[in-house]
Amino acid sequence: MNGGSKRSLGIFKKNSELQTVVTITVLFVAAVLLYQVVNSLVTRGFVEYPSFIYPSNLFNILQQNAAVGIMALGMTVIMLTGTIDLSVGMMTSLVAIFIAKAVMDWDVPPGMAIFYALLICVGIEMFMGFIIAWLNVESFIITLGGMIACRGIALLISNSQEVAMRQNLAWFKSNVFDLFNPEGIKVFNLKLNLPYYVILFFILTVITWAILKYTKFGRRVYAIGNNPQAAFLSGINVKLTRLMAFVFNGVCVAVGATMQLVRVNTGIITVGQNMEIDVIAAVVIGGVAMSGGKGSVMGAFIGAILMGTITNAMTIMRIQQEWQFLVKGLIIIAAVAAGAVSEMFRHRSAMRRKRTGVADTAAKA
């Protein structure tokens, strides 16, 4: 088994950030289940099956976080190269408004509208990626400007109004289980619902994982994130690789934004508002280093699901949205701090072993 496979299998053991979030998630789930059991016992006099672990709610968590998860895949590739993209939230709003406007007002077929939106996202990402890679400008500043520009374009297209659709993209919300039974599959008298866009999330996760693990592009992404100068001296085209990472991110944003539009069925500026926070949070708590070169797609996938689980748990517990933002922020801080502390102790342990080995060698001599 090679080193990459061992890292994939040992993701929970070697990733302190992810360990922290897993622990917090388990505690939240336990608190939600206890709350629901006690609440049903007090109000009804008997214990009901907790709604949090209903199969329908578990599938609902996947539905709620599929779009964020898809965009987290692209963000993972970008952050592995040592850059970041703050524009994904407003780009999501731009895509949602453009598709809704194109279908409803410009008589563009839904398929072509999605294709045009894909070209727009790739074009914007190529423009920002070119400036960042070739002019060696901080990605934080360029993508912040891209976020503001996307917001302005979206508001101009929609004239600051929402654009409602008529279930034109309803196919993506079709239930996969209906293929096996037209009447649906039920568990505990509840019909299970797994839309096609969730399956698309799983497929894209596997594709991204394979790209990073088995292709030259993936190896170059990790090499650039670890040491751009060494990667350049070894013959890697650092600028082109970073540009291609932004192009890949543009594809993921376009797909994720379309899936978000499928869920809300309305093109409005608030569709992607603050979504970049959720995307970056999912990637960071999944173990992808902000400095680049460290992390995995599967970590980001798990991070997105865990953050969605925590949000769903807080909603069931009727925690106000203001407190939800506070909790999610503290989780991110705790996860990153845990990783930093773990890395510090690991480094000290390695230095101690090295000094011990030198001393033993000197004593034998």
Residue pLDDT, tens place only, 14-47: 566 677 777 777 777 888 888 888 877 777 776 7
For 92-127, write each residue's pLDDT tens digit: 999 999 999 999 989 899 999 999 999 999 999 999
Q: pLDDT band at 11, cuts 50/70/90?
A: low
Give the mean model confidence (pLDDT) for residues 184-194.
Answer: 68
Q: pLDDT band at 320, cuts 50/70/90?
A: confident
Domains of the chain: 54-319 (1.10.3470)
Mean pLDDT of the chain: 85
Of 256, 277, 248, 265, which is closest to residue 92 (Cα–Cα)?
A: 256
Q: What is the pLDDT of residue 5?
A: 44
Q: Which are the contacts of 294, defined by CB distance < 8 A and separation ≥ 6?
A: 80, 225, 226, 287, 288
Q: pLDDT band at 3, cuts 50/70/90?
A: very low
Q: Please name every residue paired with 187 in a beta bridge, in sequence order, or none if there are none.
A: 190
For 146-183, write each residue's pLDDT tens digit: 999 999 999 999 998 998 888 778 778 777 777 776 66
Question: Would you say the C-alpha torsion 337, 342, 345, 350 has a positive or negative sign?
Answer: negative
Q: What is the pLDDT of residue 192?
A: 72
Q: What is the pLDDT of residue 9?
A: 44
Q: Which are the contacts of 30, defined by CB distance < 8 A and separation ≥ 6?
A: none
Dist. CA 284–CA 23, nearest whole Å: 16
Q: What is the pLDDT of residue 4?
A: 46
Contact 70, 252 (CB under 8 A): yes
Q: What is the pLDDT of residue 7?
A: 47
For 233-259, write each residue's pLDDT tens digit: 999 999 999 999 999 999 999 999 999
Give the mean model confidence (pLDDT) for residues 184-191.
Answer: 65
Q: What is the pLDDT of residue 252?
A: 96
Say if residue 226's pLDDT is above 60: yes
203-207, 214-218, 285-289: segment of lowest average pLDDT: 285-289
For 41-95, write each residue's pLDDT tens digit: 777 776 777 777 787 788 888 888 999 999 999 999 999 999 999 999 999 999 9
Dist. CA 179–CA 170, nearest whole Å: 16
Q: What is the pLDDT of residue 229?
A: 92
Give the mean model confidence (pLDDT) for residues 126-144.
Answer: 94
9-18, 199-208, 316-325: segment of lowest average pLDDT: 9-18
Dist. CA 47–CA 157, nearest whole Å: 52
